[in-house]
Amino acid sequence: MLSARHARQIAGIALAASGIWGSACVAATDAETAFAEFEERLLTSDFSLEFNIVASGPYPAQLAGTTTLSGADDASVKANGVFAGQSASIRLTAHDGRMKGGNGALEFDQATPEALREAMVIGLTRMGLLHNLAMMSSGAPPDHADGGVRDWVQAANLKLETDALIEGRPAVAFSFAVVVSGEDSGSATLWVDAETGLPLKREQVVSFGNGEMRVTETYPALTIIAR
């Protein structure tokens, strides 16, 4: 049974979808407000997310797995496939104040940083999952898990489409520039289920010195976890 807190959260998501996101004409400030509320719900909810990722360009990837956030600092990530042309088995486990993970022999093991949840959620919404999976594949923890992720990466020039469809499901689409350390580093579109407020799909183009990387992430199942 859902706790009262989680029932309120899910009700809030539905109200947001039928309110700000349901409008046929949305101002830029409303796009920013809706995106901020979307991030806040993921930051304050426990959830498990399934993902499939395909990337082409300088660092091709094909990864599938799950990520779970529970409580203030409990987290897990499992991803298998190929990254940058190499077989990858990426893992992260954070529990009881300890975080460990990596990819094969490339590992990290340390006290759980205070900003781990924020780094993982903001990493998902603004950068896409692949960025932190790349970090972990090299034996490093999620980027800015020690703090400062909101200042480091930002979603700029937000635009909101309210009548999108993803596989027949009503969705809203956030389009924005990905700004990292004050520099425009790419562009992204993130589709969010209009009824639940949960992510469905993300397409992104990232600029590197040796070419563009095109990334598609799909999220076939996201489950809110009741405490």
> For each of the chain's 227 residues, which pLDDT tens digit applies?
333 333 333 334 333 444 443 443 345 558 999 999 999 989 999 999 999 999 999 899 999 999 999 988 899 999 999 999 899 999 999 999 999 999 999 999 999 999 999 999 999 999 999 999 999 999 999 999 999 999 999 999 999 998 899 988 899 999 999 999 999 999 999 999 988 888 999 999 998 878 899 999 999 998 888 66
pLDDT of residue 28: 52
Beta-carbon contacts of residue 15 (< 8 Å; ≥ 6 apart): none
- Backbone φ and ψ for 127, nearest 5 degrees, come out as -105, -25
Residue 135 to residue 126: CA distance in whole angstroms: 15
Q: Architecture of domain 4-220 in CATH? A: Clam (2.50)
Compute the chain's Rg from CA coordinates: 17
CA–chain centroid gap for 9, Å, is 18
Structure tokens at 57: 């360009």
75 burial class (0-12, 13-18, 19+ CB within 10 angstroms)?
Answer: buried
**What is the distance between the alpha carbons of residues 173 and 160, in angstroms, rounded to a whole number?**
6
SS3 state at 2: coil
C-alpha distances out from residue 70 to 49, 169, 183, Å: 12, 27, 32
CA pair distance 121, 198, nearest whole angstrom:
12
Decide if 180 contacts 156 (C-beta within 8 A): no
Going from N- to C-terminal start, the domains of the chain cover: 4-220
Residues 47, 134: Cα–Cα separation, whole Å: 22
Return the pLDDT at 65: 98
Measured over the CA atoms of residue 180, residue 198, residue 54 and residue 131, the dihedral's sign is: positive
